[in-house]
Amino acid sequence: MSFNAPLFLFVFLPVFLLVYLLAGGRLRNGWLLTASLAFYLWAAPLYFPLLLLTLLLNFWFARLAGQRTARPLAARRALWLGIVFNIGTLAFFKIIVRYWMVLAAEAALPPSLTLYLQNHLTFPLGLSFLTFQAVASLVDAYQGRGERIERFFPYALYLLLFPKLIAGPIVRYREIAGQIADRAVTAQGMADGARRFILGLAKKTLIADMLRPLTDYGVFALSVPSLPAGSAWLVLLAYTLQIYYDFSGYTDMAIGLGRMAGFNFAENFNYPYIAKSLSEFWRRWHITLSGWFREYIFYPLERRRHGRGGLRQSVNILIVFVLTGLWHGVTPNFILWGGLHGTAIALEAGSPGKILKRLPVVFQHLYAMLIIMVGWVFFRSSTPAYALGFLKSMLGLTEAHTPPFSILPPPEAPLWLAMAAGVIFSLPVIPWLKKRWSSLTAERPRLAIAGGIFRDAALLGLLIVSVFVLSAATYQPYIYGKF
């Protein structure tokens, strides 16, 4: 089940909200945990036992890790056992799901078992995000940051909250423990959350999914890319916009759902495509993931560098971004993608970065977007050879053939509109309009009320159009749901 699935929109969400509002303060957490368990059980029943085992073990590890003062040896063991369990489980599924066919052939498994694995072995729902949140809670508990983990119920609710279960944002226990214990569910919060949810649904449905014919209908499934240069650039632009609106749309929906339930989740995107460097890009893109790597990987490496035996800062940066690539998938392409970003940021931290800052802003922006878009080629391609071939097509260095419509359909009006909207709203247009509107209505309350009515009417229109498009199209999962 996903947020853009009809079952969620028209059955799960209305029932959840109705019972949640009627339940009252004392019963809301119980209903929220029940709904989160049902959400996971419906979407991934095969892995439900693994989920329960993960919850129980992580609670046990986190509780022991928090007893560092009283039981230092036991706390340290619990910390490392918990990290090994979580990262080991994640690595196992990253590898086994990716390479199960090769492993099955080498192990000479019976055909019936191979067929069963082919039909049922998938990546567990939300495992990457759950793993990172669990590891963060272990480290924070060991270091004494935030509230101690003593009770299973609030900890399980922290890990399982269905709005952030599939693809984040990554939330620390110390950030949300107080909200789990006590939060206000207000009409204003419900309204703000609903607005944010609708905006995210429109991003996903009316922009990201509209661009899908150029990126998912066969271009990246070819053995060798042989596109004309113009077509290659068009496909890459479409994917650059698609992945942003798909992921940020999900995040808007998750934050909106959390707001309706009284939670305030961290923001995950801040107009990343206006960045003037790769360093700035990662302060704007998937902010909670980059923050996790910075706090739990980069800072410890840097503290070691300032002590004894540490590596150079550029090497530490590269390690962080190679690990970021591996978090997305254990494939050469993700490693190359992470390595590209890490190399660029390492260079920006040195003398080349000083030169970059002296260039006109437009050239800084062009540099950043060039690296970002080249990185998306490796991110989306299946092999390094395909990615290099695609880059050659972009430069016009291959023998180009116009692909058939089944592989690259001709762009039509909805696609051009989605692409234009994607480019426009990837810029901070909405914050600028809000600022201008606030100054205009500062002393005109009636105009502010009329503007609010117009805004809500426009959002209602977006919701209707999004639902209409969803009803006429096949279900499209979230890109980051598979990571």
Instruction: Indicate whether 258 and 165 sit together in one domain.
Output: no
Q: How far is CA 379 from the centre of its chain?
A: 14
Instruction: Indicate whether 177 and 50 sit together in one domain.
Output: yes
Q: 88 falls in which pLDDT band (50, 70, 90)?
A: very high
Instruction: Indicate whether 228 and 353 sit together in one domain.
Output: yes
Instruction: Indicate whether 157 and 234 sit together in one domain.
Output: no
Lowest mean pLDDT: which of 111-115, 133-137, 151-155, 162-166?
Answer: 111-115
Residue 481 within a domain:
no
Q: What crossing angle do the helices spanning 173-181 and 152-160 adopt, rounded to 10°? A: 110
Instruction: Indicate whether 176 and 151 sit together in one domain.
Output: yes
- In DSSP notation, 35-56 reads HHHHHHHHH-GGGHHHHHHHHH
Q: Is the CB of residue 39 less than 8 Å from the CB of residue 3?
A: no
Instruction: Indicate whether 156 and 258 sit together in one domain.
Output: no
Angstrom distance (rounded) from CA 317 to CA 328: 17
Q: How much is the pTM?
A: 0.91
Kindly tell me the burial class for residue 323, based on how many C-beta atoms sit within 10 Å of its own C-beta (0-12, 13-18, 19 or more). Answer: middle
pLDDT per residue as tens digits for the range 91-140: 888 887 766 655 655 556 666 666 666 666 677 888 889 999 999 999 99
pLDDT per residue as tens digits for the range 279-300: 999 999 999 999 999 999 998 8
Residue 476 within a domain:
no
Angstrom distance (rounded) from CA 429 to CA 112: 56
Residue 339 within a domain:
yes
> What pLDDT is stored for residue 41 in this prediction?
87
Task: Collect all residues with Cβ–Cβ distance below 8 Å to 224 and sequence separation of at least 6.
Answer: 386, 389
Angstrom distance (rounded) from CA 146 to CA 133: 14
Considering its fold, how many domains does the chain have in total?
A: 2
Q: 148 falls in which pLDDT band (50, 70, 90)?
A: confident
Q: Is the CB of residue 177 less than 8 Å from the CB of residue 146?
A: yes
Instruction: Indicate whether 150 and 41 sit together in one domain.
Output: yes
Angstrom distance (rounded) from CA 461 to CA 196: 14
Q: 309 falls in which pLDDT band (50, 70, 90)?
A: low
Residue 352 within a domain:
yes
Q: Identify which of 233, 128, 216, 242 has the alpha carbon closest to the alpha carbon of residue 409.
A: 216
Instruction: Indicate whether 174 and 198 sit together in one domain.
Output: no
Task: Collect all residues with Cβ–Cβ distance below 8 Å to 376 and sequence separation of at least 6.
Answer: 236, 239, 240, 243
Q: Taking 60 as the threshold, does the pLDDT of residue 68 lie above it? A: yes
At position 364, the amino acid (one-letter code) is Q
Maximum distance among all Cα pairs of the chain, rounded to whole angstroms: 76
Instruction: Indicate whether 419 and 271 sit together in one domain.
Output: yes
User: Which residues does the annotation mark as catalytic?
Assistant: 328
pLDDT per residue as tens digits for the range 340-392: 999 999 999 888 889 999 999 999 999 999 999 999 999 999 889 999 999 99
Tokens at 226, concatenated: 């042989």
Angstrom distance (rounded) from CA 391 to CA 395: 6
Instruction: Indicate whether 173 and 272 sit together in one domain.
Output: no
Domain that holds residue 122: 28-183
